[in-house]
């Protein structure tokens, strides 16, 4: 299979997905997306992206399975614990000064990141005055997030992270177990809206105090990163915060001057008025 033809087919496939399902992957980082679609080809025994496109357009059931290959769902609670520690120690004192707090977790996957923030804010006695907006394009992940059920064998890693992030009790205080599942306390999600929202095409949310968008931008190309950072800029209150993933940056973005990195090693920025 010549690379040139393969790349033509890849572009056509992404167009087909866009026109049929409205999901726009055309400005994702292609190197990684192409690898994942090649895996889908293997899984569905397709010789080419064109064959995969045939499934996508004509076979609904396979289409949904193929779409699952398009996004990366790797996540953890308190992922990069130092980020959450910095949030607790340096951002929470500022959030405390507001009468109410709006926090947007963009690309929340199955909710690991949401429960991390909810636990911290509960321990800081701020949970009752916080409203969370958790958004993603992956329905399966959103549904999982709503249940707050994770496999028990992930708790060892999550507990370690929780402690490293400065947790004040024990993670197991927040979940009950049933067979091999850990079920997180539903009081943690009293004030949360989970919604299907695409950073590619949907509008901004208003007046956020903190936006956490981690390990999402690395899967976007520069053009799309610019769009999303613009969206965040418009969704934050004056001097609102934006937290990115440990290896995400805005060095090459047209919006880099709209933000200032306030917690250097943790990629926590705040909006500056220009």
Partner 1 sequence: MSESQYKAVVVGASAGGVVAISSLLECLPSNFLTPICIVLHLPPDKNSMLDQIFNDKCSLQVKEADDKESIQPGFVYLAPPNYHLMVEQDFSLSLSSEDPVLYSRPSIDVLFETAADAYHEKLLGILLTGANSDGAKGLQTIIKKGGDGLVQSPDEAEAKTMPMAAIKKSPSARVESLENICVFLKSLNS
Ligand X SMILES: C[S@@+](CC[C@H](N)C(=O)[O-])C[C@H]1O[C@@H](n2cnc3c(N)ncnc32)[C@H](O)[C@@H]1O
**Distance set, CA 152 to CA 175, 183, 185 (Å):** 10, 9, 14
The count of residues in the chain is: 274
What minimum distance in Å lies between the beta carbon of 10 and partner 1? 10
Q: Does 198 bind ligand X (CB under 6 A)?
A: yes
E-strand ranges in 91-191 read 101-106, 130-136, 149-151, 175-178, 181-184
- In the β-sheet with 181-184, what is the strand arrangement from edge to edge? 149-151, 181-184, 175-178
The values of phi and psi at residue 79, to 5°, are -60, 135
What minimum distance in Å lies between the beta carbon of 108 and ligand X? 6
Tally of CB atoms within 10 A around 96: 12
Binders of ligand X among residues 104 to 163 (CB under 6 A) are 107-109, 112-113, 135-138, 141
Query: Out of partner 1, ligand X, none, which partner does residue 252 contact, by CB within 5 to 8 A per kind?
Result: partner 1
Q: Does 68 bind partner 1 (CB under 8 A)?
A: no
What minimum distance in Å lies between the beta carbon of 45 and partner 1? 20
Q: Does 71 bind ligand X (CB under 6 A)?
A: yes
What minimum distance in Å lies between the beta carbon of 267 and partner 1? 11
DSSP-derived 3-state class of residue 135: strand
Distance of CA 207 to the CA centre of its chain: 19
- Please tell me the count of residues contacting partner 1 according to CB under 8 A: 26
> Measured from the CB atom, is 39 or 172 closer to partner 1?
39
2, 3, 45, 74: which one binds ligand X (CB under 6 A):
74
66, 145, 199, 211: which one binds ligand X (CB under 6 A):
199
Are the C-beta atoms of residues 144 and 110 closer than 8 Å to each other? Answer: yes
Residues of this chain that bind ligand X (CB under 6 A): 71-75, 79, 107-109, 112-113, 135-138, 141, 198-200, 214-216, 245
């Amino acid at each position: 299979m010549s690379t040139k033809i393969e790349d033509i087919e890849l572009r056509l496939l992404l167009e087909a997905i866009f026109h049929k399902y409205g999901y726009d992957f055309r400005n994702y980082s292609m190197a990684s997306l192409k690898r994942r679609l090649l895996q889908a080809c293997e899984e569905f025994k397709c010789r080419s992206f064109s064959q995969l496109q045939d499934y996508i357009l004509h076979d609904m059931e396979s289409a949904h399975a193929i779409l699952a290959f398009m996004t990366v769902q790797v996540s953890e609670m308190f992922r990069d614990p130092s980020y959450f520690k910095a949030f607790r120690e340096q951002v929470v004192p500022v959030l405390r000064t507001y009468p109410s707090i709006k926090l947007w977790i963009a690309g929340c996957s199955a909710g690991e990141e949401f429960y991390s923030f909810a636990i911290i804010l509960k321990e800081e006695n701020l949970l009752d005055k916080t409203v969370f907006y958790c958004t993603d394009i992956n329905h399966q992940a959103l549904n999982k997030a709503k249940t707050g059920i994770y496999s028990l064998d992930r708790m060892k890693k999550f507990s370690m992270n929780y402690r490293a992030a400065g947790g004040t009790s024990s993670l197991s205080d927040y979940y009950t177990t049933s067979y091999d599942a850990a079920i997180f306390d539903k009081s943690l999600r009293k004030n949360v809206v989970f919604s299907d929202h695409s950073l590619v095409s949907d509008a901004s949310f208003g007046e956020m105090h903190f936006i956490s968008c981690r390990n999402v931008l690395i899967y976007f190309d520069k053009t799309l990163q610019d769009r999303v950072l613009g969206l965040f800029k418009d969704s934050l209150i004056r001097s609102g915060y934006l937290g990115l993933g440990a290896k995400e940056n805005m060095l090459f973005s047209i919006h880099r001057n709209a933000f200032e990195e306030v917690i250097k090693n943790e990629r926590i920025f705040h909006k500056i008025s220009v």
